Amino acid sequence: MSTVPECPQCRSRFAYEDRGLYVCPECGCEWSAEAPTPEEEAAPVVRDAHGNELNAGDNVTLIKDLKVKGSSSVIKVGTKVKILRLVEGDHDIDCRIDGFGGMMLKSEFVKKVG
């Protein structure tokens, strides 16, 4: 019975061990047993202005008036926003705001709503 795990990228069950690494013959992926899976690496930890961890689907409110780049509009403090997904980078929240459309926000300007 083999104890080699399936490939973390393509989920192939034909992976094998070679010199301390696991190798997938189908996609060429190599990984060690201690290394985090790509899903664990891809999930960024994003926190709001008060240190609460944010997840996709959470509801947040703005804690500061924000100017919309390329427009004379302002999104007012207290505006409720639903997080669509979290991304890496300077603007780490991808969301949709009623009346404005799709936006990217910085997590330092929002707080999580219960």
Whether the predicted pLDDT of 67 surpasses 60: yes
What local confidence, expressed as pLDDT, does residue 2 receive?
56
What local confidence, expressed as pLDDT, does residue 13 receive?
87
Looking only at the bridges linking them, the beta strands covering 74-75 and 66-67 are antiparallel
CA distance 45 to 75: 25
Looking only at the bridges linking them, the beta strands covering 53-54 and 74-75 are unpaired
* pLDDT tens digits, one per residue of 8-43: 888 888 889 888 888 999 888 888 877 555 555 555
In this structure, the number of other CB atoms found within 10 A of the CB of residue 16 comes to: 11
Tokens of 109: 């300007």
State pTM to two decimals: 0.61
